[in-house]
């Protein structure tokens, strides 16, 4: 472990309007060390990292690099000091090759670009630190794990000595996470400083030399490797009355396995255009009173599956059956009217019209039910929606409020109330808790369980294995557009599923 | 098709296709940086009118070319101010530029209608001059803009794909956010791309008035700007493919002229439709596959971070 | 709407805001036009006086104003309806010509029918001609084959050529004349005119179209669906709204309204089909709709303003020797000003 302080935050404070994102935060990042910044969503980790990278200016306090106070006016300044950041949303250009993406970020790129030279540099570095990717391949063809490697290579080639990674393991399967930690070890050994932001306890305990825990904008505690255990860290993260981190253990089981068959896909396949994933040979069943989870990484076809079931995407082969009726050719409208509801991740983007009022959004999602003559029966709509909101214990925002002025959580509640208003028989939930804070996520999961308990069926498409473990009565795994695994509750491990999700055969083992 | 007709069409294709190629190359650069300029028609008109007016007043066609290039560049910068600095909708701004070009060019060219100019001088390499099948045609007897057309296309290709600047331009067109994160200034890059595009557009217009027709008339570009926009898509935003595209469309126009000259009993109006219908059919045939080739950020405005 | 704030940070009531906006635009027009006139060596005040006297204060001049207003009001609505879905229809020119063409076909084929039959037929044909012409780009866009902006633009060039083909060919009037045109329509096919001027029933159709547009968008469930598509196309699809169908329908309706403008020109004004029916009415309509942000009242006001400007252009060409092209520059500058204001908070949809 190195002693020199590579990067330091001293008494950093930052507020966004009334929200105090960082309050007098102190953090020291040493060379040759992996430092984990742990905290729940909204704890202030993102803000701090943005400040350290020059993306945001602190209201007070200072940033020191190599012991000297620095004024970071933009990421450019940070990069000049050898600080690099890997974001959750990669700053990669899908159409460019790996080499072109990296070349874009090189600070010493010659005016005339010789791609082969860049490729050689990439290969040498990749070798040194175990970041193997083909410099020539277009980035859009790479797996998420490989794309992350490209991001790291970008920083290394730009001579970064301090690497900040924001939730790097969120999109990785378990064995890819291990690979990433091996990369950290290699970098650490050569004196690099790594700051890695996460909310996953197990990873932190596995790989961090030093841990800083943040809660509600402040540093809630620090710890060294070996000193801390999960309970201590949880207490620091959540305070004394801590809401426990979602348990890995599996949640209460539903009654579903003997329920009536609600929905079936029989040999379903679909076409794909461009970067979409082609589905083939999908055999899937959802019964009343069960939650079927679908695990997969991006590119596995999860989204295409959800669209196929909803009717947005036509079947190229096979059949789709709703309570025994062949609905293969039904339009989205018809599917919805027959009781298929859809809860997406990004309501403003996928399920609501931000520019229109709440009541307009409500009626648009209910098909023809409230049509009256040339216009709409607003009264009946209001009455029915009032009921739905009440049953869910959600507050009803004013009907004329523009949907775009609601917060993300409130908008999702409106969408959910709308979807639940007519007792749907099948609920398709697509990454429903992505980006939500803990409380909202828990309430969404509770809702899905209630739907199941009222003898409807739920198809939960998610990339969060912990969530799937807690919720699924049965778990399906997708990879490359096909179903590669099916398990009942309690019969699977995350290691197993992780391998299936990433298409690596378990027998192949580590590289 | 007999030989004289074929040669006539090919020869005509080169003549008509040149201004199409310059316009397409210019628009390719700007679209690679993420900006669509529907007002290309206006830029061409500005180039044609300014070029003609300068040539007529100074008796130098070359001066006309230079003036046209600068005028085109300046006009595109005006467009850039709207869409880059003021973040206005690109399509509406483009149409505004089209109106502007129509009006401004009429104003500039008005006093010179009917003026007689000596156009751009042409020459033919001596080793070809002797050939029988070449002598009676326009083949290889070209002005400087035609001779430079393919080299300019190569230059544009090289600039976009082999230089640091071109990498930046393409990055801005794909993801202005990524380009910004790499330390670049997307707005500045877009302005540069727009200027380059405008210069080429001005040259395209100049070729029409200073070489092809040796006149100025209001609206003389007759939709070439829109055909060039379609050509950019047709050539998948690639400068070298644009050469082929310009020849094909120039050929269609040449075919129409040749048929008319031979007294073919086809209504000139139907023949006039060919370029536009052909463009539509080509775009149709391409369908969705085309979308992958477009710069991902085309048409969007960038709002920066924080 | 969330973005509409004055620089002082207070919200003005919507009516005041709208009045301020259009008032500002009018002032800008007067100032810029005045500057252009000065640059051209003319006296702006005299020019404005001439315009007022001949276009506004004069009965005949005012009637001509209304004549000009008719087609551009229609082409503006033709743009506004698809715009609510986020579609950009710049094909007003072509749709106008095709409406005129199909209306002429009907008038020439059935000249002996009585007016109460023929007029509705001709009107319907005018609508259909434009609607079909716009449905082509609509279908192409709905199938994601070709962007409707490009498709409508390209078809703008084809339609006048079709009209010319017919005028020089199958429909060439046997009467020798300085320029080719179709035979004159029978009286039954002519839209009635009013007050011994050239104002024709097309003006009523235009107002009706504007009113129907407002009603459709704000008060019906169809308008709700169209606005939803314009607000968020992907979400609309997921909610079961038949987006592809609406794209075609909206463009067809828009095209049909532009077609009515064409029908109005041939049936109300000229009484026959000729070349050069439209000095850019389609594009003018686009600008009007854009500047007005698709709002019906704004469309009316801006259309009126544009009618005054183009009247002024003609008048000033006569009284002051000003080239008409100056009007194009003026319109462009007006659009520049609107586009350049308030980045990211423009009211246009």
pLDDT digits (tens, 9 = 90+) for A74-86: 888 888 899 988 9
* Higher-confidence position of B65 and A55: B65
pLDDT digits (tens, 9 = 90+) for A325-339: 999 999 999 999 899
Is residue A15 pLDDT above 50, yes or no? yes
Q: What's the pLDDT at A257?
A: 52
Interchain pair B163, A93: CB under 8 A? no
Across chain B, the runs of DSSP E, i.e. the strands, are: 122-123, 142-143
Interchain pair B104, C169: CB under 8 A? no
Q: What's the pLDDT at A242?
A: 39
Is residue B290 pLDDT above 70, yes or no? no
A11 Cα to chain B: minimum distance (Å): 22
Q: Would an 8 Å CB–CB cutoff place C241 in contact with chain A?
A: yes
* Higher-confidence position of A404 and C206: C206
Segment holding C129, helix H or strand E? helix C115-142
Is residue C12 pLDDT above 80, yes or no? no
pLDDT digits (tens, 9 = 90+) for A379-417: 999 999 998 888 887 888 888 988 888 877 788 888 888
What is the CATH class of C21-340? mainly alpha
Does residue A262 sit in the same domain as residue A231? no
pLDDT-derived band at B64 (thresholds 50, 70, 90) equals very high
Name the residue among C231, C251, C300, C293 with its Cα closest to residue C89: C251
Burial class, C86, CB count within 10 angstroms (exposed 0-12 / middle 13-18 / buried 19+): middle
- φ, ψ at C31 (rounded to 5°): -65, -50
Q: What's the pLDDT at A409?
A: 76
Q: What's the pLDDT at A171?
A: 73
Note whether B69 and B208 are within 8 A (CB): no
Identify whether A450 is part of a domain: yes
CATH code assigned at A12: 3.40.50.300
Name the residue among B157, B99, A376 with its Cα closest to residue C225: A376
Interchain pair B103, C327: CB under 8 A? yes
Which residue, A213, A238, A263, sits at the end of a domain?
A238
Q: Two tokens at B126?
A: 């001596």
Q: What's the pLDDT at C222?
A: 93
Q: Two tokens at C70?
A: 């008719």
Query: Across chain A, how many H-helices and E-strands are there?
Result: 17, 22
Task: Please state the domain extents for chain C.
Answer: 21-340
Identify whether A212 is part of a domain: yes
Q: What's the pLDDT at B300?
A: 66
Q: What's the pLDDT at C4?
A: 40
Does residue A272 sit in the same domain as residue A227? no
Q: Indicate the residue of A349, A360, A404 with minimum beta-carbon distance to C2.
A: A404
pLDDT-derived band at A249 (thresholds 50, 70, 90) equals very low
Task: Please state the domain extents for chain B.
Answer: 17-117+141-248
Which residue, A192, A208, A238, sits at the end of a domain?
A238
Burial class, C192, CB count within 10 angstroms (exposed 0-12 / middle 13-18 / buried 19+): middle
Place of tokens 């520059």: C329
Domain that holds residue A285: 248-302+433-511
Q: What's the pLDDT at C39?
A: 75
Is residue C73 pLDDT above 60, yes or no? yes
Task: Find residue A20's DSSP bridge partners.
Answer: A15
Is residue A240 pLDDT above 80, yes or no? no
pLDDT digits (tens, 9 = 90+) for B74-118: 999 999 999 999 988 888 889 889 989 998 998 888 889 888 888
pTM (predicted TM-score): 0.80
Does residue A65 sit in the same domain as residue A128? yes
pLDDT digits (tens, 9 = 90+) for A37-71: 988 767 788 889 889 988 888 999 999 988 888 98
Q: Which of C152, C153, C291 to mutate to test the interface with B (most CBs of B within 10 A)?
A: C153
Does residue A360 sit in the same domain as residue A506? no
Residues A179-197, mean pLDDT to the nearest whole number: 92
Q: What's the pLDDT at C170?
A: 87
Q: What's the pLDDT at C304?
A: 92
Note whether B47 and B68 are within 8 A (CB): yes
Does residue A210 sit in the same domain as residue A350? no
Name the residue among A395, A49, A80 with its Cα closest to residue A214: A49
Q: What's the pLDDT at A372?
A: 87
3-state secondary structure of A288: coil
Name the residue among A187, A211, A189, A192 with its Cα closest to residue A200: A211
Cβ neighbours of B178 in A, within 8 Å? 91-93, 104
Which residues of chain A from 58 to 77 reach within 8 Å of chain B, CB to CB? 75-76
Note whether A50 and A87 are within 8 A (CB): no
Q: What's the pLDDT at C103?
A: 95
Of A436-440, A454-458, A500-504, C132-136, the range with the lowest mean pLDDT is A500-504
Measured CA to CA, the distance from residue C345 to residue B181 in angstroms comes to: 25
Measured CA to CA, the distance from residue B276 to residue B253 in angstroms comes to: 10
Is residue C51 pLDDT above 80, yes or no? no
Determine the length of chain A: 511
Q: What percent of chain A has pLDDT over 90?
A: 31
Q: What's the pLDDT at A453?
A: 87
Measured CA to CA, the distance from residue A361 to residue A348 in angstroms comes to: 11
Q: Which of A311, A364, A407 to mutate to test the interface with C (most CBs of C within 10 A)?
A: A364
pLDDT-derived band at C348 (thresholds 50, 70, 90) equals very low
- φ, ψ at A31 (rounded to 5°): -70, 150
Which residues of chain C from 275 to 334 reach within 8 Å of chain B, CB to CB? 283, 286-287, 290, 323, 325-333
Distance of CA C255 to the CA centre of its chain: 10
Touching chains, C (3+ CB pairs < 8 A)? A, B
Strand B142-143 relative to strand B122-123, pairing: antiparallel
Name the residue among C183, C185, C158 with its Cα closest to residue C91: C158
Does residue A32 sit in the same domain as residue A165? yes
What radius of gyration, in Å, describes the C-alpha atoms of chain A? 25
Q: What's the pLDDT at A258?
A: 58
Does residue A87 sit in the same domain as residue A195? yes
Q: What secondary structure letter does DSSP report for A82?
A: T
pLDDT digits (tens, 9 = 90+) for C114-145: 888 999 999 999 999 999 999 999 999 998 88
Place of tokens 């709509």: A381
pLDDT-derived band at A253 (thresholds 50, 70, 90) equals low
Measured CA to CA, the distance from residue B16 to residue B205 in angstroms comes to: 12
* Higher-confidence position of A273 and B28: B28
Q: What secondary structure letter does DSSP report for C55?
A: I
Measured CA to CA, the distance from residue B153 to residue B145 in angstroms comes to: 12
Please name the residues in contact with A167: beta carbons below 8 A apart, sequence gap of 6 or more: A88, A197, A198, A199
Q: Which of B88, B233, B253 to mutate to test the interface with C (most CBs of C within 10 A)?
A: B88
Q: What's the pLDDT at A145?
A: 85
Most confident of A502-511, B267-276, C238-247: C238-247
Q: What's the pLDDT at B193?
A: 97
Does residue A474 sit in the same domain as residue A501? yes
Q: What is the ipTM score, two decimals? A: 0.85
Q: What's the pLDDT at A254?
A: 54
pLDDT-derived band at A256 (thresholds 50, 70, 90) equals very low
Please name the residues in contact with B140: beta carbons below 8 A apart, sequence gap of 6 or more: B124, B125, B128, B134
pLDDT-derived band at B56 (thresholds 50, 70, 90) equals very high
Cβ neighbours of A50 in B, within 8 Å? 306
Measured CA to CA, the distance from residue B273 to residue C235 in angstroms comes to: 39
Question: How many C-beta atoms lie closer than 10 Å to residue C114's C-beta?
Answer: 8
Mean pLDDT of chain A: 84
Note whether B63 and B196 are within 8 A (CB): no
- φ, ψ at A217 (rounded to 5°): 90, -10
Is residue C217 pLDDT above 60, yes or no? yes
Measured CA to CA, the distance from residue B215 to residue A31 in angstroms comes to: 72
Is residue C346 pLDDT above 50, yes or no? no
Number of domains, chain A:
3
Of B149-158, B265-274, B285-294, C29-38, the range with the lowest mean pLDDT is B285-294
Does residue A34 sit in the same domain as residue A115? yes
Interchain pair A333, C240: CB under 8 A? yes
Q: Would an 8 Å CB–CB cutoff place A374 in contact with chain C?
A: yes
Identify whether A333 is part of a domain: no
Does residue A418 sit in the same domain as residue A357? yes
Does residue A21 sit in the same domain as residue A150? yes
């Amino acid at each position: 472990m190195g002693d020199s302080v590579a990067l330091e935050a001293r008494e950093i404070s930052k507020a966004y309007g009334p929200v105090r994102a960082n309050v007098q935060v102190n953090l020291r990042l040493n060379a040759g060390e992996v430092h984990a910044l742990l905290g729940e969503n909204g704890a202030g980790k993102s803000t701090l990292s943005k400040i350290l990278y020059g993306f945001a200016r602190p209201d007070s306090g200072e940033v020191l690099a190599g012991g000297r106070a620095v004024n970071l006016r933009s990421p450019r300044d940070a990069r000049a000091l050898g600080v690099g950041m890997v974001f959750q949303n990669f700053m990669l250009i899908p159409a460019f090759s790996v080499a072109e993406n990296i070349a874009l970020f090189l600070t010493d790129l010659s005016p005339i670009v010789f791609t082969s030279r860049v490729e050689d540099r990439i290969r040498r570095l990749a070798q040194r630190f175990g970041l193997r990717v083909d410099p020539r391949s277009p980035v859009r063809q790479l797996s998420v794990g490989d794309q992350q490697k490209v991001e790291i290579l970008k920083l290394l080639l730009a001579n970064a000595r301090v690497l900040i990674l924001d939730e790097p393991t969120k999109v990785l399967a378990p064995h890819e996470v291990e690979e990433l930690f091996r990369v950290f070890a290699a970098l650490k050994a050569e004196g690099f400083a790594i700051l890695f932001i996460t909310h996953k306890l197990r990873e932190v305990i596995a790989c961090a030399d030093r841990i800083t825990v943040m809660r509600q904008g402040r540093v809630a505690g620090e710890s060294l490797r070996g000193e801390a255990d999960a309970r201590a860290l949880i207490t620091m993260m959540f305070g004394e009355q801590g809401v426990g981190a979602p348990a890995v253990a599996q949640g209460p089981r539903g009654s579903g396995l003997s329920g009536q068959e609600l929905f079936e896909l029989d040999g379903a396949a679909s076409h794909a255009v461009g970067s979409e994933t082609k589905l083939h040979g999908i055999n899937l069943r959802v019964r009343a009173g069960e939650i079927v989870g679908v695990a997969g990484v991006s590119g596995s076809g999860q989204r295409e599956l959800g669209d196929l079931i909803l009717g947005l995407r036509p079947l190229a082969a096979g059949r789709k059956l709703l309570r025994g009726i062949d609905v293969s050719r039904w339009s989205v409208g018809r599917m919805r009217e027959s009781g298929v509801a859809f809860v997406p991740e990004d309501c403003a983007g996928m399920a609501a019209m931000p520019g229109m009022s709440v009541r307009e959004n409500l009626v648009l999602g209910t098909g023809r039910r409230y049509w009256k003559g040339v216009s709409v029966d607003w009264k009946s709509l209001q009455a029915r929606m009032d009921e739905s909101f009440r049953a869910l214990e959600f507050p009803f925002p004013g009907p004329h409020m523009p949907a775009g002025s609601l917060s993300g959580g409130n908008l999702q509640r409106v969408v959910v109330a709308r979807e639940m208003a007519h007792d749907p028989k099948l609920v398709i939930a697509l990454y429903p808790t992505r980006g939500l804070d803990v409380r909202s996520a828990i309430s969404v999961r509770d809702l899905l369980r209630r739907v199941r308990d009222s003898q409807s069926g739920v198809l939960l498409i998610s990339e969060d294995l912990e969530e799937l473990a807690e919720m699924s009565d049965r778990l399906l795994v997708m990879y490359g557009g096909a179903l590669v695994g099916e398990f009942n509750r309690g019969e699977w491990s995350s290691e197993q599923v992780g391998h299936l999700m990433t298409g690596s055969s378990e027998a192949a083992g580590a590289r | 098709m007999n030989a004289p007709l074929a040669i006539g069409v090919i020869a005509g294709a080169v003549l008509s296709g040149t201004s199409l190629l310059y316009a397409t190359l210019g628009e390719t650069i700007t679209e690679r940086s993420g900006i669509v300029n529907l007002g290309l028609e206006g830029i061409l008109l500005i180039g044609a009118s300014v070029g003609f007016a300068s040539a007529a007043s100074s008796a130098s066609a070359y001066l006309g070319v230079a003036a046209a290039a600068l005028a085109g560049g300046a006009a595109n910068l005006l467009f850039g101010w709207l869409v880059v600095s003021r973040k206005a909708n690109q399509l509406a701004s483009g149409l505004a530029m089209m109106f502007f070009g129509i009006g401004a060019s009429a104003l500039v060219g008005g006093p010179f209608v009917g003026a007689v100019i000596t156009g751009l001088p042409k020459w033919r390499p001596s080793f070809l001059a002797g050939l029988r099948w070449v002598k009676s045609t326009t083949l290889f007897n070209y002005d400087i803009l035609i001779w430079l057309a393919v080299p300019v296309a190569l230059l544009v290709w090289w600039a976009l794909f082999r230089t640091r600047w071109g990498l930046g331009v393409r990055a801005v067109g794909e993801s202005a956010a990524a380009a910004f994160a790499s330390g670049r200034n997307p707005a500045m890059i877009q302005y540069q791309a727009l200027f380059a595009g405008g210069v080429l557009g001005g040259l395209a217009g100049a070729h029409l008035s200073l070489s092809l027709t040796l006149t100025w008339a209001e609206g003389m570009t007759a939709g070439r700007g829109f055909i060039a926009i379609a050509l950019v898509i047709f050539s998948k935003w690639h400068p070298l493919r644009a050469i082929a595209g310009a020849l094909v469309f120039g050929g269609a126009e040449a075919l129409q002229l040749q048929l008319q000259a031979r007294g073919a009993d086809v209504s000139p109006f139907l023949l006039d439709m060919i370029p536009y219908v052909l463009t539509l059919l080509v775009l149709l045939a391409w369908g969705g596959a085309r979308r992958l080739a477009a710069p991902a950020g085309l048409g969007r405005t960038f709002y920066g971070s924080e | 709407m969330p973005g509409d704030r004055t620089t002082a940070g207070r919200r003005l009531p919507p009516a005041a805001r709208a009045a301020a906006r259009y008032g500002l635009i009018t002032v800008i027009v007067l100032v810029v036009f005045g500057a252009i006139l000065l640059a051209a060596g003319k006296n702006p005040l005299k020019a404005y006086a001439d315009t007022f006297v001949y276009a506004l204060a004069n009965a005949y001049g005012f009637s001509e104003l209304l004549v000009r207003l008719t087609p551009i009001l229609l082409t503006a609505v033709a743009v506004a309806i698809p715009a609510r879905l986020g579609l950009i229809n710049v094909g007003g020119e072509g749709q106008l010509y095709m409406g005129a063409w199909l209306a002429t076909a009907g008038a020439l084929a059935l000249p002996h029918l009585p007016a109460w039959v023929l007029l509705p037929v001709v009107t319907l044909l005018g609508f259909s001609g434009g609607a079909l012409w716009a449905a082509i780009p609509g279908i192409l866009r709905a199938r994601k084959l070709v962007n409707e902006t490009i498709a409508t633009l390209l078809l703008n060039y084809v339609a006048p050529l079709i009209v010319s083909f017919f005028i020089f060919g199958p429909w060439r009037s046997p009467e020798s004349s300085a320029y080719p045109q179709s035979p004159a329509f029978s009286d039954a096919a002519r839209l009635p005119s009013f007050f011994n001027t050239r104002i024709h029933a097309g003006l009523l159709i235009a107002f009706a179209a504007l009113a129907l547009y407002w009603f459709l968008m704000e008060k019906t469930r169809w308008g709700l669906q169209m606005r939803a598509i314009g607000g968020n196309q992907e979400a609309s699809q997921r909610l079961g709204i038949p987006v592809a169908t609406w794209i075609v329908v909206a463009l067809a309706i828009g095209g049909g309204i532009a077609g009515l403008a064409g029908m109005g020109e041939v049936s109300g004004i000229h009484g026959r089909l000729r070349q050069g029916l439209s000095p850019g009415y389609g594009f003018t309509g686009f600008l009007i709709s854009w500047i007005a942000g698709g709002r019906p009242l704004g469309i009316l006001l801006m259309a009126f303003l544009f009618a005054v400007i183009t009247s002024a252009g003609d008048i000033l060409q006569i009284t002051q020797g000003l080239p008409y092209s100056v009007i194009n520059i003026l319109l462009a500058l007006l659009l520049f000003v609107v586009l350049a204001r308030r980045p990211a908070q423009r009211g246009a949809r």
